[in-house]
């Protein structure tokens, strides 16, 4: 059924909405594992089919691994294999390490059990993603820079002996990130920079360590200041007159996001030096020997964007 609206032929509103709902339902049913995910993105673990006799249960593991079992109640992985109605009961240990019958029968031979210290990073991470694949935050790990660099989940997280309870991290951030990114530590120690040491901002506020389609594994695009404006709301657009640098590269066109020796974390000490890297025509209209022209923002005050003037004058 068609109807005419403002002289044009279109579909009725209700069928259009219904069609959108159907398409959405199809999209969701195409990834059933996401439908079963919890708020934290953790999928329900299920033992491998046909292998019930190979699972021994956590009580058996505790006969040798006393320390691990004693600390397990405080671990968020406790009960990972619960709810499976498995004959062996609690399968928390074997949810990650695999069935333990051969390990037990071989008098604890470590070769008969999944040993994460000897597995390739991709194999370690794939084990973790068996449960954690339900989170969009982890979805890009397989193609992330960390994965390509051989960084596995257990390089940053420790299941049995974490130094930080939050996310079972091997050490607190930013120290954890600095262990691989020492150059960033020097940037943050610059005269003007984001102060990670006070805890107001963290590496994870801007970056997703598990992977992102954005460069630098950023949480949001840098274009149009989308990421930076989540904190610097006074710089948020859209503006009638956009600064084109923001629409091409984003805030990093002018600023060094981790820290800089220059004010406002700018890439150069003098504003004019920074501006003429793009505005090469400026020296023909301004005498840069005159101190009045050495700070472009003296006149172009609305440099992040303006609603009143195309040259970013504030009126």
The pairing of strands 259-260 and 241-242 is unpaired
Residues 235 and 302 in one domain: yes
Same domain, 129 and 182: yes
Q: Find all residues with CB under 8 Å of 102, minimum gap 6, and list them.
A: 54, 112, 113
Domain count of the chain? Answer: 3
Q: Is the pLDDT of residue 21 over 90?
A: no
pLDDT (mean) for 110-129: 86
Structural domain including 298 reads 223-306
Closest CA to 54 of 3, 102, 11, 96: 102
Tell me if 3 is assigned to some domain.
no
In a shared domain, residues 208 and 266:
no
Q: 179 vs 234, which has greater pLDDT?
A: 179
* Lowest-confidence region among 41-50, 90-99, 132-141, 286-295: 41-50
Residue 294 lies in a domain: yes
Residue in the structure block whose two tokens are 């005159």: 290
**112/114 Cα distance (integer angstroms):** 7
- Residues of the chain with pLDDT > 70, as a percent, come to 85
Smallest CA-to-CA distance from 47 within 21, 85, 10 is with 85
> Is 17 within the bounds of a domain?
no
Same-domain status, 126 and 207: yes
Query: Do 160 and 103 sit in the same domain of this protein?
Result: no
pLDDT-derived band at 315 (thresholds 50, 70, 90) equals low
Same domain, 139 and 100: no
Q: Is residue 290 part of a domain?
A: yes
The answer to the question of residue 183 being in a domain is yes
Cα–Cα distance for residue pair 240/58, rounded to 1 Å = 63
Same domain, 138 and 190: yes
The pLDDT mean for the chain works out to 80
What is the per-residue pLDDT for 276? 87
Q: Dig out the tokens for 263 from the structure.
A: 């004010």
- Quick check: helix, strand or coil at residue 169? strand
pTM of the model: 0.75
* Residue 53 lies inside a defined structural domain of this protein: no
Residue 207 clears pLDDT 70, i.e. is over it? yes
| pLDDT number for residue 40 | 53
Are 147 and 211 contained in the same domain? yes
Residues pairing with 3 in the sheet: 10
Give the C-alpha separation, 210 to 143, whole Å.
9
Q: Which of 37-46, 80-89, 225-234, 242-251 has the lowest mean pLDDT?
A: 37-46
Same structural domain, 147 and 85? no
Q: Can you give the pLDDT at residue 25? A: 36
Q: Is the pLDDT of residue 223 over 50?
A: yes
> In the numeric block, which tokens belong to residue 253?
């066109």
Q: Which of 167, 198, 217 is the last residue of a domain?
A: 217
Record the tokens describing residue 181, joined without a space.
Answer: 């990114």
251 within domain boundaries: yes
């Amino acid at each position: 059924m068609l109807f005419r609206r403002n002289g044009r032929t279109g579909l009725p509103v209700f069928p259009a909405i219904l069609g959108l709902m159907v398409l959405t339902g199809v999209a969701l049913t195409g990834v059933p594992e996401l439908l079963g995910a919890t708020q934290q993105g953790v999928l329900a673990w299920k033992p491998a089919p046909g292998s019930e006799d190979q699972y021994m249960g956590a009580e058996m593991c505790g006969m040798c691994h006393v320390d691990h079992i004693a600390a397990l109640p405080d671990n968020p992985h406790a009960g990972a294999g619960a709810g499976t109605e498995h004959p062996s009961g609690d399968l928390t240990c074997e949810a990650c390490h695999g069935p333990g019958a051969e390990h037990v029968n071989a008098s604890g031979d470590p070769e008969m059990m999944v040993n994460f210290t000897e597995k390739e990073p991709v194999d370690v991470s794939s084990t973790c993603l068996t449960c954690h694949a339900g989170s969009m935050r982890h979805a890009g790990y397989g193609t992330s820079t960390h994965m390509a660099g051989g960084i596995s989940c257990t390089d940053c997280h420790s299941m049995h002996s974490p130094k930080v309870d939050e996310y079972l991290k091997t050490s607190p951030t930013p120290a954890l990130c600095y262990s691989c990114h020492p150059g960033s530590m020097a940037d943050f120690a610059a005269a003007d920079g984001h102060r990670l040491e006070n805890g107001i901002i963290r590496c994870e506020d801007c970056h997703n360590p598990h992977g992102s389609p954005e460069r630098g594994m950023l949480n949001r695009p840098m274009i149009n200041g989308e990421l930076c404006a989540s904190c610097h709301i006074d710089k948020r657009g859209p503006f009638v007159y956009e600064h084109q640098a923001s629409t091409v590269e984003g805030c990093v066109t002018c600023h060094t996001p981790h820290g800089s020796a220059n004010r406002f974390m700018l890439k150069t000490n003098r504003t004019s030096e920074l501006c003429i890297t793009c505005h090469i025509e400026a020296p023909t209209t301004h005498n840069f020997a005159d101190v009045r022209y050495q700070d472009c923002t003296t006149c172009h005050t609305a440099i992040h964007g303006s609603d009143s003037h195309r040259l970013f004058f504030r009126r």
